[in-house]
Structure 1
């Protein structure tokens, strides 16, 4: 005789109500790369080719978030073929690399999608992210971000960059928008 599996526990994230309210409005989440999607380490082989390590759970979180209708983009201060390949693999086509002044790029991206900055979450770790984080509706710093970003962020991940921080962000947005239970149920 087969018994039914136990029910899933209720979903409850320990997040301040104002952060949940901000995340509920988000229609676009923009990520920095080095220090957010990666741990910030740069690897080069003898030919000068750069390699980066990405967390698989972060990638899956990005796919799940996009499946709920929330758009994603990447704005990075550096250029890297490994970033291009990873984002292509994840189906993220809004990838801007070699951008030190990120705010104008974000403003154009918002204009193209008819979004206000209040509908944007931005995830960063260092000073290149400061101007953007100060203007978006939900500024998020990874746990090991520069102290300046930690001080101004609306929310801070528990995980460090490249070690599941992006998945936390994706889960937060889905939780705030009420889509997380349905996403989890797909796998139950």
Structure 2
């Protein structure tokens, strides 16, 4: 049964990391440290959400310094890492942020994400997510994990609020009308 469309009510968008903000590749350096390839387009997406009053964060079962560094660089509001019981974590986040689960969105790509996806208002999955995750998702992105998933979701959430692309990005260029003239 389809859930009501609540994309226009989202106050906090949470992202799984491996397979969502990255393509799932783990690079291991000579000292055993892990490296994660993040997509710059997703960084723009976090700023876009913030500009339009939507908080962002990461919720990941894994913990790594590259993840902490990237989430901090982007100014994410929530950094919950090392939580294998993500459902418990989402409830903590809701309480800590004072935001009801009906106003939280989440994007996940693997089986561990399904309980959270069923708890929140809006659940997204990347195009290459596990088939069972895609089945549970309210929306499936065209982008593959690590290839602009957050950007696509940010634009989708803002479109649900009635904004066109020029209005979404006007703060970056200073004038929505001027931007519309350029893209016509």
Aligned pair partner of 1:177 in 154, 157, 161: 161
List gaps (5 residues or longer) in structure 1. 1-17
Deviation at 1:175, TM superposition (A): 1.1
Aligned partner of residue 134 in structure 1, secondary structure = helix
Deviation at 1:130, TM superposition (A): 0.8
Provide the TM-score with structure 1 as the length reference.
0.86
The answer on 1:155 being equivalent to 2:121 is no
Q: In the aligned structure 2, how far is the partner of 1:120 from the partner of 1:179?
A: 20
Q: In the aligned structure 1, how far is the partner of 2:86 from the partner of 2:10?
A: 19
Deviation at 1:183, TM superposition (A): 2.5
Deviation at 1:179, TM superposition (A): 4.3
Match of 1:66 in 2: 50
Match of 2:182 in 1: none
Match of 2:176 in 1: none
More helix by share: 2
Q: In the aligned structure 2, how far is the partner of 1:131 from the partner of 1:25?
A: 21
For residues 113-170 of structure 1, what are the alpha-carbon distances to aligned partners after superposition, in whole Å with 9 as ceiling and x for unaligned?
Answer: 2222111110000011110001111011110001111011100000011001111011
Match of 1:139 in 2: 123
Quote the RMSD (CA, aligned, Å). Answer: 1.4
Match of 1:87 in 2: 71
Q: In the aligned structure 2, how far is the partner of 1:55 from the partner of 1:48?
A: 23
Aligned partner of residue 122 in structure 1, secondary structure = strand
